[in-house]
Structure 1
Amino acid sequence: MLTTNSKDVFFLLSTVFILSQNFLNGHSFKPEPRGGHMATLVNDRIYFFGGSRPIPITSPAWNQTHQYNLSDEVFYLDLSSSFTVNLPPFTDLSAISRMPFGCERGTTVLGYSGVRIFLVGGVQQNMVTFGYNTTNSSLWIYNINSQKWDTNGPGTYGPPLPRRRSTATVIDKNGVIYIFGGRVGVDTGSDVFIMFDDLFTLDTSLFEWSNLSLPNHPPKRNLCTATLMPDGKIIYIGGVTQSFAGGPPTRVNMNEIYIFDTIASAWSQKSALGNIDPRVGHTAILAPDNYTIVIFGGTQGYVLRQSTSYPTFVLLDVKSEPFQYSSPQTSGMAPPPLSYHTATLYQNYMIVVFGNIIFPSIILIIDYYTDNVIYIRDYFHIFIDMPSIRTMID
């Protein structure tokens, strides 16, 4: 089992970076590098779903417009025993649990007494034709016991969430899923690039959808994070916005924080102090102290042109107003700047897995079979493995 130590970073949590390469003998399953995947903690396992996988530049399938494929894989990382990041114990469930489509930029949450994982939105790619928009359902359910997938099915009430991806999604203690914003484009069935400012809920006990049209809601928002606090408030951070349908994305000021109170069903806005770059593709988790939000990674760019958002590791103290950003010094070897990774809190550990490596001015495309830099461009990004960073507690 993992253990905590009073000398862990910031006395809040330790950060463990899991790599997908550098496997040693002993584990047969080696996940490919990816970004835009989904991750959900279930007891001592982190379940991973989908993501975008790079096509090696040496592959006949690679060309300028086809440089990655989506994944329909399902696998988990076992945290019940100690291990090193050189030998993470991944187990592949794809033979019996494969997703109905390749998927990225969806959101997964655990509900229904901890036995169902709800997949909300995301890109859906046919794994035979590689065409998009495989189904009309924006909700799919993975049953942990049967290891099978199903749609929301009959018995669902209210207007369901229209198809979209990159939403900010959480589930509360009552089993109600809150889904804010997101976007559509060609990969989600729309010829026009459109962001949303609506807030949908799904009561997972009644399977009842609701569209909450409430005053003072945030502007259209895409790729922001949502962090559920113990008092039932959801804090939304970062992302991009849009002035009109089809218009260009505009980066959101990280000092403008929107909050939705799930108890009062009301929006409010707060300010935060601190100099922090805007970002998308970042993660935000609540630290064990229940008032510090730990933000990691992200990029200032959108679509093809990427640039690192600084600081890459940030704490947001929401105990008192105004909220306060800080970026304390960390110990150990720092990871490369990441985006579209996942971060999962387990005991006192934030476990960061996969993602894009973003550099300040150029993006290095790595052949993930050889770890050699084989291609450099100033506007393209792709998914690569992280080098060995550090060891989990033995």
Structure 2
Amino acid sequence: MYWTVHLEGGPRRVNHAAVVVEDKIFSFGGYCTGDNYRERRPMDIHVLNTSNFRWHALPLSKQNDPDAACVPYQRYGHTAVAYGDKIFVWGGRNDEAACNVLFCFDTSTLQWSCPEVTGMIPGARDGHSACVINHCMYVFGGFEEEIDRFSQDVHALDFRTMHWNYIITQGEPPSYRDFHSATALEGRMYIFGGRGDLNGPYHSQEEVYCSDIMYLDTHTGRWHRPVTSGDIPIGRRSHSAFVYKGNLYIFGGYNGLHDEHFNDLYRFSSEHNEWQLLKPLGKPPSKRRRQACLLVGDKVFLFGGTSPFPVPNPHGIQDYDIDGNHQGLEAKLVDHSDLHVLDFAPTLHTLCLLVVIQNHLEELLLPEDIKWEIRAMTTNNRISRPVNNTG
């Protein structure tokens, strides 16, 4: 494993939702500090070409367009899943309200639609999770807007009939939570992390961060809590999860009790119920939360999120603590526009390119196709806006 690419200048986004269709990554909406999230402006879409690491933004829908009603408004905390060549966006909120309308984006025509659905539609929420298992989108948890509480319910949308079902499960479910991850693996929906509360469904500011991993067997509808071993990660929220060659991976996130961001990478074996902390080669991304991680072939594409960034303390304290940290600095949050690539199986060709890049070797006599690859791996994108900091 090797962190091979780090480029700046992509979409500056936090709490966005992204999916892979063929070899392209589609990123929908998200939060960017300084923007207005009270207006109902159309959701933006950014597309990454995973071959040359170039981003481009699709044209925004015009609000006076007759089809504008079928375009989701800009939001954060939503989910997106791919089913065939279509992408389904559900949930999320702006600063005024949450949403429970289902939107469909056709990657062939680049058009939005609002599919007609039947059944028991879940209540509007954000911070939930969604994954696709056997033609169904399973939705778990989140924070429900209308009843002002966390959820531990499971809903499923059958893409063949566009019918919503409330899933009555057996066994003890995961605790009420939001900003967890749900990952599809072998007919199971694995739930990890998230933010809960000591008072169950209600938000009392007494946060809980669970380090257990649980799964729903979608064939039986029963929850399971396996006994795990190894390097069990600390509980966290707003992390990323993905599957590679039958194993589940967790990256980054945030624990509010410790006020700590992470950039660690864990692998979970569902066969042995064992965690392992991994140490990829190369320079890792900075510690962060609310980023996106997408697997394409043997590569993981990580982008966006937010990280603590030291700025001068307004009180002017100039001292060092026992660990040598400068107390004259305090942490603000900075939104990222960067792109990182983790290659699980770098070829000798890729490793040779890295030697040229990292050692600033002369490129004059290299073949043109090699020069092109080096430019792609080292040339920043140019679509992001200036950085804004927030507390």
Which TM class, normalised by the smaller chain length? Answer: 0.7 to 0.9
**Aligned ranges for residues 107-186 of structure 1 at < 5 Å?**
107-111=79-83, 114-123=84-93, 125=94, 132-133=96-97, 137-153=100-116, 156-172=117-133, 174-184=134-144
The corresponding residue for 1:347 is 297
Q: 1:389 to 1:377 in 2, by over 3 A?
A: farther
**Aligned ranges for residues 276-287 of structure 1 at < 5 Å?**
276-287=233-244
Partner AA of 1:77 in structure 2: L
The corresponding residue for 1:237 is 192
C-alpha separation in 2, matches of 1:70 and 1:363: 33
Structure 1, unpaired ranges of 5+: 1-8, 22-30, 126-130, 366-375
State the shift of 1:18 in Å: 5.4
**Aligned ranges for residues 29-178 of structure 1 at < 5 Å?**
31-55=10-34, 72-79=43-50, 81=51, 83=52, 88-96=53-61, 99-111=71-83, 114-123=84-93, 125=94, 132-133=96-97, 137-153=100-116, 156-172=117-133, 174-178=134-138
- 1:50-106 deviation digits (Å, cap 9, x = unpaired): 0111229xxxx8xxxx99x99821121112x3x3xxxx3112213359953111111
Q: TM-score, normalised by structure 1?
A: 0.73
- 1:342-367 deviation digits (Å, cap 9, x = unpaired): 000100011101111246xx5799xx
The corresponding residue for 2:168 is 213
State the shift of 1:49 in Å: 0.6
**Which has the higher Rg, Structure 1 or Structure 2?**
2
Say how many residue pairs are matched.
Answer: 321
The corresponding residue for 1:301 is 256
The corresponding residue for 2:334 is 382
Structure 2, unpaired ranges of 5+: 63-67, 314-327, 351-372, 374-391
Asked whether the 8 Å contact 1:297–1:338 carries over to 2, the reply is yes
- 1:21-55 deviation digits (Å, cap 9, x = unpaired): 2xxxxxxxxx4411111111000100011011122
SS at match of 2:109: coil
Asked whether the 8 Å contact 1:236–1:257 carries over to 2, the reply is yes
C-alpha separation in 2, matches of 1:137 and 1:213: 20
Q: TM-score, normalised by structure 2?
A: 0.73
Q: 1:145 to 1:245 in 2, by over 3 A?
A: same
Asked whether the 8 Å contact 1:35–1:52 carries over to 2, the reply is yes
Partner AA of 1:34 in structure 2: R
SS at match of 1:75: strand
Partner AA of 1:226 in structure 2: A
Asked whether the 8 Å contact 2:143–2:150 carries over to 1, the reply is yes
Asked whether the 8 Å contact 2:303–2:339 carries over to 1, the reply is no
1:315 aligns with 2:267: yes
Q: Given the alignment, which residue of 328, 335, 352 partners 2:285?
A: 335
The corresponding residue for 1:25 is none
Q: 1:364 to 1:252 in 2, by over 3 A?
A: farther
State the shift of 1:306 in Å: 4.2
Asked whether the 8 Å contact 1:317–1:325 carries over to 2, the reply is yes
